């Protein structure tokens, strides 16, 4: 196998902007695959091809694992090249199928080069007849044990037997940059991953107020970002101390509003960081009705604290759907490690579920936090993550 053929779906609909998306996809592939593994990578008709060096089985598995984390790919395949001559295609098909065990087969041909003398159907019949005679196996067009795929495109012919599923979506970085409020729980890492899939580059903000085991809690959050970084290749994490603000909030008697005020201040402070990052978008892990702060009324009150566009990719997801994705992307086991926060001892027994915006804003104004916020912004720690391919 001397080539990898990368196919996309959504990018193909981008019209005059398609080249931009293709080039970003190539850039992201290069970030996730060692340059020692391939000779060259380029765009051809409706696909991206990568010519490989001689690789071990372990190195091919490493490439496969890398490409499975690149958004924008519908599927990819390890392929053998052939000359555009029928006899040569038959010879390469023979070499390829000799390595496989099968009792039934079919041939599937894509022919975009109309200068090739046979149509797709004619080529399928010709190669199918050759395989039948050579291997004496059964033809099965509906449920074959193996499919021989042949692509005839530009000056190339590629043969392969396996399509490896990609993540789909759009290449990270094609939709701009967004800020994500990252807790150490299950939901927000999934929300970040979902928006990466739509082409956003994510900058993470973690507000912390740990009551004990602070170092261990930091490592948990950093490890979550390290996992998410496999999908966008370089990441930035802002660690924002929040305990002083929570202490001011919990001095107020209107305890049932404390969670809403906390979130409003987080949104407001996130906007300051968003300006630095040249972003006007904020992502949260909210799921409608999951907790008191995530009712329609309360989300509306919280959102008024910022001028940022707020995206909630999990808004219609139930907990089991979120957990399923968290397990798929390997953040779940980290997210369920228990962490104790300062505010857990101060949370209201009966939080407000349908807050009035005017009342919450009044409570917020009575809390003296402007000077505290200024000090906190000076204490922010920035961690950077890179993926070395």
34-88 residue pLDDT tens: 889 999 999 998 899 999 998 888 999 999 999 999 999 999 999 999 999 999 9
Task: Give the residue from 99, 134, 165 where a domain finishes.
Answer: 165
Kindly indicate the confidence band of residue 320, based on its pLDDT and cuts at 50, 70 and 90: very high
In a domain, 17, yes or no: yes
Closest CA to 29 of 76, 66, 56, 81: 66
Closest CA to 200 of 166, 226, 175, 217: 175
Kindly indicate the confidence band of residue 24, based on its pLDDT and cuts at 50, 70 and 90: very high
φ and ψ at residue 145, rounded to 5 degrees: -70, -30
Instruction: Determine the pLDDT at residue 16.
Output: 83
Q: What is the CATH number of the domain that holds 346?
A: 3.40.50.620
In a domain, 269, yes or no: yes
- Indicate if 244 and 304 belong to the same structural domain: yes
Q: Of 35-39, 93-97, 243-247, where does mean pLDDT reach its minimum?
A: 243-247
CA atoms of 184 and 168, how far apart (whole Å): 26
Q: Of 68-72, 96-100, 234-238, 342-346, where does mean pLDDT reach its minimum?
A: 342-346
CA atoms of 321 and 162, how far apart (whole Å): 29
- Indicate if 342 and 212 belong to the same structural domain: yes
Top pLDDT among 87 and 369 is at: 87
Percentage of the chain with pLDDT > 70?
A: 95
Range(s) of the domain holding residue 79: 3-165
Instruction: Check if the beta carbon of residue 95 is closer than 8 Å to that of residue 131.
Output: no
The tens digit of pLDDT for each residue in 180-232 reads 999 989 999 999 999 999 999 999 999 988 666 677 788 899 999 999 999 99
Instruction: Determine the pLDDT at residue 253.
Output: 57
- Indicate if 106 and 199 belong to the same structural domain: no
Instruction: Determine the pLDDT at residue 156.
Output: 94
pLDDT(161) > 70: yes
- Indicate if 207 and 121 belong to the same structural domain: no
- Please count the structural domains in the chain: 2
Neighbours of 389 (CB within 10 A): 15
In a domain, 61, yes or no: yes
- Indicate if 127 and 276 belong to the same structural domain: no
In a domain, 170, yes or no: no
CA atoms of 48 and 136, how far apart (whole Å): 35
Kindly indicate the confidence band of residue 352, based on its pLDDT and cuts at 50, 70 and 90: confident
Residue written as token pair 């979130």: 263
In a domain, 113, yes or no: yes
Task: Give the residue from 128, 144, 165 where a domain finishes.
Answer: 165
Q: What is the CATH number of the domain that holds 106?
A: 3.30.2130.30
Task: Give the residue from 165, 186, 206 where a domain finishes.
Answer: 165
Closest CA to 302 of 349, 339, 266: 266
- Indicate if 367 and 241 belong to the same structural domain: yes
- Indicate if 264 and 333 belong to the same structural domain: yes
Tokens of 384: 């950077």
Q: Of 6-10, 20-24, 300-304, 343-347, where does mean pLDDT reach its minimum?
A: 343-347
CA atoms of 95 and 235, how far apart (whole Å): 44
Q: Please, which residues have CB within 8 angstroms of residue 281's CB and are 6 or more apart in sequence?
A: 176, 177, 178, 179, 200, 274, 308, 309, 310, 311
In a domain, 252, yes or no: yes
CA atoms of 310 and 183, how far apart (whole Å): 16
- Indicate if 209 and 295 belong to the same structural domain: yes
In a domain, 172, yes or no: no
- Indicate if 15 and 100 belong to the same structural domain: yes
CA atoms of 359 and 5, how far apart (whole Å): 59
- Indicate if 254 and 302 belong to the same structural domain: yes
pTM of the model: 0.91
In a domain, 94, yes or no: yes
- Indicate if 129 and 237 belong to the same structural domain: no
- Indicate if 156 and 224 belong to the same structural domain: no
């Amino acid at each position: 196998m001397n080539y990898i053929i990368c196919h996309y779906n959504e990018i193909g609909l981008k019209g005059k902007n398609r080249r931009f998306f293709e080039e970003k996809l190539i850039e992201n592939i290069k970030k996730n695959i060692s340059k020692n593994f391939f000779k060259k990578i380029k765009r051809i008709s409706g696909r991206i091809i990568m010519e490989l060096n001689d690789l071990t089985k372990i190195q091919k598995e490493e490439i496969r694992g890398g490409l499975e984390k690149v958004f924008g790919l519908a599927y990819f395949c390890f392929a053998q090249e052939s000359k555009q001559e029928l006899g040569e295609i038959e010879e390469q098909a023979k070499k390829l199928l000799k390595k496989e065990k099968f009792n039934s087969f079919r041939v599937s041909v894509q022919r975009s080069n109309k200068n090739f003398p046979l149509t797709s159907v004619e080529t399928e019949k010709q190669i199918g007849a050759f395989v039948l005679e050579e291997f004496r196996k059964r033809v099965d067009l509906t449920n074959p044990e193996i499919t021989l795929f042949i692509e005839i495109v530009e000056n190339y012919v590629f043969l392969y037997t396996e399509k490896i599923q990609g993540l789909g979506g759009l290449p990270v970085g094609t939709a701009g940059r967004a800020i994500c409020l990252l807790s150490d729980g299950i939901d927000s890492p999934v929300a970040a991953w979902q928006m990466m899939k739509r082409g956003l580059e994510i900058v993470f903000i973690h507000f912390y107020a740990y009551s004990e085991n602070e170092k261990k809690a930091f490592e948990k959050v950093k490890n979550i970002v390290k996992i998410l970084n496999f999908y966008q290749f370089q990441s930035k994490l802002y660690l924002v101390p929040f305990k002083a603000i929570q202490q001011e909030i919990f001095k107020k008697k209107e305890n049932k509003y404390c969670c809403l005020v906390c979130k409003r201040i987080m949104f407001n402070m996130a906007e300051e960081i968003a300006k630095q990052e040249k972003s006007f978008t904020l992502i949260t892990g909210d799921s409608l009705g999951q907790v008191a702060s995530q009712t329609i009324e309360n989300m509306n009150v919280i959102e008024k604290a910022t001028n940022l566009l707020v995206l909630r990719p999990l808004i219609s997801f139930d907990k089991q759907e979120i957990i399923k994705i968290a397990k798929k992307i390997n953040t779940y086991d980290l997210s369920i490690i228990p962490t104790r926060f300062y505010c857990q001892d101060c949370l209201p027994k009966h939080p407000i579920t349908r807050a009035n915006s005017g009342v919450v804003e009044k409570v917020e104004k009575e809390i003296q936090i402007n000077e505290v916020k200024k000090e906190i912004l000076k204490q922010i720690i920035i961690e950077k993550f890179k993926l070395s391919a």
